[in-house]
Structures are given as structure tokens and as C-alpha cells.
């Protein structure tokens, strides 16, 4: 029976292995010739040629010169050298490429790959020597992919989905899988690639495209599973490059009843590994993308017994799985902030404004002898104080401050805590009508937008119209605070606000529960039981 399990599982892993050029793309360019219809050339500068990149392989090379902002005002579309396909009605698509920068200027912005639907438009952008995932229509950063290096090859897949979400795979690692802000206005419906596509064209670049593909979800890279017997157990593993997947098992390949494998996932070298008992009947294994569907759980004001809550330990299980204290690192590691990297020697961290980062321990910083890394859960006030300070040292701190979102976790959507400041008029006010009119006056655009701009977004808006306030695009560090209220849950969530919820917050019950589970001091189930017992002191019938 063990031999059958091994053979079946290994064959499944082989079937999931992926080679880009072997799959049935809707359109695929291998770089050996100039693109033909349905690809449309769109160029008013630069050169396009087929170049030999060695080992009998060829690439399509496009270049364009640097332009100042005066020559080429932002998003003016004055200069470009690209190819594109127009299909405006498609709400789901995959665009991918393997490319390198054979040359680039240290300043300016250049769009390299830009898939878009009539809903969202995340693309690969070079901005001042850094690669970014960037919303082209909204002109907002999504994720910092790190510095560009001449002649260094990169592979990028961008999957756009009808539910306003996207998945980005950068050099074999899922670096982003979540909701993308809707385009305003909705203009998209293209796949564009080149040295300066229509949206961003100021940097000077020479880009070699080894291949470019346009397709659907079947063209995404698929991780390969490996399986081997270890005594009376089976060890299932897959590459840590393939983050964001769940392991499932079934006793019947034809069945739709695949169940999540709940055994702990460990990291062994460059592999995720799960140990499972080898028992009859035979087990088949597969990896699926983590589901994005969000399930709201409704609580009464008093704690609901954990056994009555759907999937009661989901958040704790996820957090304890992705949190680790190993080597010189502590925090949510790269498998949670997918796609990050950090150097124990230099203390440098990839990501930054617009992207995730790895929480590093002071031990790693002390190794370099020159780096101090600090993390805080806070509004933009620290950045504001440093940026506005006349002290050059404080201004230098502002340049080092980087903002990022927390990992999405099993809920499948961003969620934040926040303090709501209500505006109201007391009954004993001598002039209630005037007070009400003053509040109304302050919420009008003419007053509200300058107020937000003056505090660089410290006050988040409760009205969606103010998402368009220019303050959110004035600095890449601002954008993270734009959607605080949209994604906010009150501090009593999912129960009612009141004395009990305030006492539970002051008692750090939820914080301690996650701390115990993440550090391994308690199992997720035991951490939840201890937290429930503490909460019962505040939530009494």
C-alpha cells in the first residue's frame, strides 16, 4: 500500500510541474521574430529588434530614451515603444513575461508589462531604479519588488480576476494575492509590453523580452509535489517559492470531496513539509490556492463557545503556521509576507513603501553592527512628525520609514482596527443648529480635503468620495491609510461595543492569545480556551 501511495502522489506532482513554453497560451511570443497580428505595434520612438541572448535563444529587444517631466508630462502618452492586444470585454486574464533590463536610467518611470481589464490594471513598473507592481489607471503603488539590476532576468505572471483581485508571481514566488482598487475611470482591456507603454514613459530603458504570454488561469505556474515514505509516515513537500497554497487530500481522485490537511506545515531548507500517517486506504494529495472567499462570523455580546463558531481556530492556525522564531529572524516570515527577503549580514530588507517586509530580530541587526530595525502598529503620525520636523536627523528618519499592510490571513481580505472619533452636538448646547451646520461645513470637500492634506492622511475619511483626495498620491507612504475606514473593524468586533469589549481590549486578551499560539507557548486550541476563560470575567450574563 505504501508503494501505491508513493507512485500515485509522485505522478500527480509531475503533472503539476510547469514549463511556460509548453502550455497552450492564447497568444505566445518566443522572442525569435517580431510580433505579428493580433499584436499591434504602438511606437513613436526607439528601436525594436530581435537579439541573440545566447544558447541558441533569442529575445525581442525594445528601447526608448530618457525624457524629462517637462518633455513628457506625467501620463501624457507623448513617447512610447510597445506592442499590445486590445480585448476590452474580458474580465479575467493572465499576462506573463520573462525579461531583463539591458540598460536603464536611475531616474524616471517606465511601464514594462501592463495587463488590464475594464476593472483593474496592476502592471510591472520601473520607477527610479526599483521594480513595482503598480496600478496604472489609478497611478498608485501596490507592491515594491526591489531594485533593478542590469542583465538580471525576471519572470512575472499577473492574473487579473473578475472579483477585483489579482495574483502576482515574481520569479516563481507569489508576492501578491488580494484585492486591487477599482480603476477610476474604468479604461482597461489590454495586454501591453515594451520599453515605455502608454502610461509611464520617462525613464530610458533597453528591455529584452525572452517570451511574452497572454492566456488564462490554466497558464499559471503550478507547484510540483514530492512525496516519500519515512517509516510509517508519508512526507509531502513542495518548494517554498510556491507560497500561498493549501495541501489537500482525498481517497478518490474522481471525488470533489477534497479536505484540508491540518497537520502542521514546517519549513525544511527550501521546502514546505507536511508529515502524514501512511494508512489505508490510499491518499491522494494536491495543492490549491488559498481561498479568497470571506465568511463573516456573527457573535453574541457574550463569548460564543468555541465549538459553535465555524472554523474557530482558523486565524490562530494560520498565524501559528506562518509565524516563526528561527535562525536570526522572528515574526511573520516570507511565507506570510510572500516574496520578501532579508539579509542577516547587512540588515537590508526588500519591499518597503507599497510592499511587505519581514520583521527582523535585533539579533540580525546586531550582526551587521550598523542597523537598527523597529516596527510599530500606528497611524501616519510618526512619519508626519519626522517628515515635518525642521531637524535634519528627523527628516532622515522619515526617509527610512516604510509602511505596509498586515498579511491578509485566512479571512481572505484586509482588516484593520481603528479608532472612530464621533462628531456630535450636546443637548445642552446653546446653539445646536449652528453647531450642526459647522459639522456639515467641515465635511464638505472645500474644507475636508485641505484638512486631510494638512495632516497627510492621519484622519481617514468615512465617505468614499474622499478616496480621490490628491493627498493619497502625493507620497507613496500615504496610500496605506486611504482605506482604513473601508476595511476597519471596531475594537469590539464581532460583538457589541461596550464596557466588556473595552475591558477585554485593556486586558490584551486577543493579543496574548495570538502571542501564545504564534510563539508555540500554547497550541491554537489551548490559546483560544485560555482567552475564552479570561474573557468570561468581563462578559458575564
Average pLDDT, stretch 346-358? 36
State the pLDDT at residue 306: 39
Q: Alpha carbon 159 to chain centroid distance?
A: 13
Give the bridge partners for 234, in sequence order: 229, 276
Average pLDDT, stretch 167-176? 83
Q: For domain 20-216, is the CATH number 3.40.390.10?
A: no
State the pLDDT at residue 138: 82
State the pLDDT at residue 493: 75
State the pLDDT at residue 2: 27
- 340-359: buried (b, 16+ CB within 10 Å) or exposed (e) per residue? bebebeebebbbbbbbbbbb
Give start-end residues of each CATH 2.60.40 domain in the chain: 2-17+222-289
State the pLDDT at residue 408: 60
Average pLDDT, stretch 509-524? 81
Q: Is the pLDDT of residue 361 over 50?
A: no
Average pLDDT over all residues of the chain:
75
Most confident of the ranges 77-86, 154-163, 223-232, 517-526? 154-163
Average pLDDT, stretch 283-310? 46
Cell representation of residue 284: 491522494
Sign of torsion, CA 513 517 522 525?
Answer: positive
Count the Cβ atoms, other than its own, within 10 Å of residue 364: 22
Confidence class for position 332, pLDDT limits 50, 70, 90: low
With residue 236 as reference, give the H or E element that holds it.
strand 233-239
- Looking from the CA of 305 toward its CB, the CA atoms found within 13 Å total 2
State the pLDDT at residue 262: 77
- 374-408: buried (b, 16+ CB within 10 Å) or exposed (e) per residue? eeeeebbeebbebbeeeeeeeeebbeebbbbbebb
Per-residue pLDDT of 426-480, as tens digits, reads 889 999 999 999 999 998 989 999 998 888 888 888 888 888 888 888 887 888 7
Q: Among 310-324, 353-367, 508-522, which is the least confidently predicted range?
A: 353-367
State the pLDDT at residue 344: 38
Please report which residue ranges of 257-391 form alpha helices under DSSP H.
Answer: 314-322, 362-368, 381-388
State the pLDDT at residue 302: 30
Where is pLDDT greater, at 52 or 257?
52
Confidence class for position 272, pLDDT limits 50, 70, 90: confident
Rounded Cα distance, 97 and 403, in Å: 29
Give start-end residues of each CATH 2.60.120.200 domain in the chain: 20-216
State the pLDDT at residue 60: 95
Beta strands in 294-402 (DSSP E): 323-326, 329-332
**For residue 138, is the peptide bond before it cis, meaning its omega torsion is within 30 degrees of 0?**
no
Q: Among 56, 108, 112, which Cα is nearest to 83's?
A: 112
Apex 80 CA angle, 74 and 83, nearest 5: 130
Cell representation of residue 308: 459553535
State the pLDDT at residue 12: 31
Average pLDDT, stretch 256-285? 81
Confidence class for position 207, pLDDT limits 50, 70, 90: very high
Q: Is the pLDDT of residue 76 over 70?
A: no
State the pLDDT at residue 465: 84
Q: Among 107, 115, 178, 97, which Cα is nearest to 143's?
A: 178
State the pLDDT at residue 101: 95
State the pLDDT at residue 124: 94
In words, the CATH class of domain 2-17+222-289 is: mainly beta
State the pLDDT at residue 413: 63
Per-residue pLDDT of 24-63, as tens digits, reads 788 999 999 999 999 999 888 889 999 999 888 999 999 9
CB of 205 closer than 8 Å to CB of 79:
no
Where is pLDDT greater, at 362 or 182?
182
State the pLDDT at residue 351: 37
- Complete edge-to-edge strand list for the sheet that includes strand 226-230: 226-230, 233-239, 271-277, 266-268
State the pLDDT at residue 244: 60
Give the bridge partners for 324, in sequence order: 331
Q: Is the pLDDT of residue 23 over 90?
A: no
CB of 216 closer than 8 Å to CB of 93:
yes
State the pLDDT at residue 198: 59
Average pLDDT, stretch 332-337? 46
Most confident of the ranges 14-18, 132-136, 303-307? 132-136
Rounded Cα distance, 397 and 391, in Å: 10
CB of 431 closer than 8 Å to CB of 336:
no
State the pLDDT at residue 73: 66
Rounded Cα distance, 241 and 338, in Å: 9
Q: Is the pLDDT of residue 279 over 80?
A: no
Rounded Cα distance, 128 and 155, in Å: 20
Per-residue pLDDT of 301-330, as tens digits, reads 233 343 333 455 666 776 666 565 544 445
Burial of 291 (0-12, 13-18, 19+ CB in 10 A): exposed
- Number of residues that this document lists for the chain: 541
Phi, psi dihedral angles at 113 (to 5 degrees): -135, 130
Amino acid at each position: 500500500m505504501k508503494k501505491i501511495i508513493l507512485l500515485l502522489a509522485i505522478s500527480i506532482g509531475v503533472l503539476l510541474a510547469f514549463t511556460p513554453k509548453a502550455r497552450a497560451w492564447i497568444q505566445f511570443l518566443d522572442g525569435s521574430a517580431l510580433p505579428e497580428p493580433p499584436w499591434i505595434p504602438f511606437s513613436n520612438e526607439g528601436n525594436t529588434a530581435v537579439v541573440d541572448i545566447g544558447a541558441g535563444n533569442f529575445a525581442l529587444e525594445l528601447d526608448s530614451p530618457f525624457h524629462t517631466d517637462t518633455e513628457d508630462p506625467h501620463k501624457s502618452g507623448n513617447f512610447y515603444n510597445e506592442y499590445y492586444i486590445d480585448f476590452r470585454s474580458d474580465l479575467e486574464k493572465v499576462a506573463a513575461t520573462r525579461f531583463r533590463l539591458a540598460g536603464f536610467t536611475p531616474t524616471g518611470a517606465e511601464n514594462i508589462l501592463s495587463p488590464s481589464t475594464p476593472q483593474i490594471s496592476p502592471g510591472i513598473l520601473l520607477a527610479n531604479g526599483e521594480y513595482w507592481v503598480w496600478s496604472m489607471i489609478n497611478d498608485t503603488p501596490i507592491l515594491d519588488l526591489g531594485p533593478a539590476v542590469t542583465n538580471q532576468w525576471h519572470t512575472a505572471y499577473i492574473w487579473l480576476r473578475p472579483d477585483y483581485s489579482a495574483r502576482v508571481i515574481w520569479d516563481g514566488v507569489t508576492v501578491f494575492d488580494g484585492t486591487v482598487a477599482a480603476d477610476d475611470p474604468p479604461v482597461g482591456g489590454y495586454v501591453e509590453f515594451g520599453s515605455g507603454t502608454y502610461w509611464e514613459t520617462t525613464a530610458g530603458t533597453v528591455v529584452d523580452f525572452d517570451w511574452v504570454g497572454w492566456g488564462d488561469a490554466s497558464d499559471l505556474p503550478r507547484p510540483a509535489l514530492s512525496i516519500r515514505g519515512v517509516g510509517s509516515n508519508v512526507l509531502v513537500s513542495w518548494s517554498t517559492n510556491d507560497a500561498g497554497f493549501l495541501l489537500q487530500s482525498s481517497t478518490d481522485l474522481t471525488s470533489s470531496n477534497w479536505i484540508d490537511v491540518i497537520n502542521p506545515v514546517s519549513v525544511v531548507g527550501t521546502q514546505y513539509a507536511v508529515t502524514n500517517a501512511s494508512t489505508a486506504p490510499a491518499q491522494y494529495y494536491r495543492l490549491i490556492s488559498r481561498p479568497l472567499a470571506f465568511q463573516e462570523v456573527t457573535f453574541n455580546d457574550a463569548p460564543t463557545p468555541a465549538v459553535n463558531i465555524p472554523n474557530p481556530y482558523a486565524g490562530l492556525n494560520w498565524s501559528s503556521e506562518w509565524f516563526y522564531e528561527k535562525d536570526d529572524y522572528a515574526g511573520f516570515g516570507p511565507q506570510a509576507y510572500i516574496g520578501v527577503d532579508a539579509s542577516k549580514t547587512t540588515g537590508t530588507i526588500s519591499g518597503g513603501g507599497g510592499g511587505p517586509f519581514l520583521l527582523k530580530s535585533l539579533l540580525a541587526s546586531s550582526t551587521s553592527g550598523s542597523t537598527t530595525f523597529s516596527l510599530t502598529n500606528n497611524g501616519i503620525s510618526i512619519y508626519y512628525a519626522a517628515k515635518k520636523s525642521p531637524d535634519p536627523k528627523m527628516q532622515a528618519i522619515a526617509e527610512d520609514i516604510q509602511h505596509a499592510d498586515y498579511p491578509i490571513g485566512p479571512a481572505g481580505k484586509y482588516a484593520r482596527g481603528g479608532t472612530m472619533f464621533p462628531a456630535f452636538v450636546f443637548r445642552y448646547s446653546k446653539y445646536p443648529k449652528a453647531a450642526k451646520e459647522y459639522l456639515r461645513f467641515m465635511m464638505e470637500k472645500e474644507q475636508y480635503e485641505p484638512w486631510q492634506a494638512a495632516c497627510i492622511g492621519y484622519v481617514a475619511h468615512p465617505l468614499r468620495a474622499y478616496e480621490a483626495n490628491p493627498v493619497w498620491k502625493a507620497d507613496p507612504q500615504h496610500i496605506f491609510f486611504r482605506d482604513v475606514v473601508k476595511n476597519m473593524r471596531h475594537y469590539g468586533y464581532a460583538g457589541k461595543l461596550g464596557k466588556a469589549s473595552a475591558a477585554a481590549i485593556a486586558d490584551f486578551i486577543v493579543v496574548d492569545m495570538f502571542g501564545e499560539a504564534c510563539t508555540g507557548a500554547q497550541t491554537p486550541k489551548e490559546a483560544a480556551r485560555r482567552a475564552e476563560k479570561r474573557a468570561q470575567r468581563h462578559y458575564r450574563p
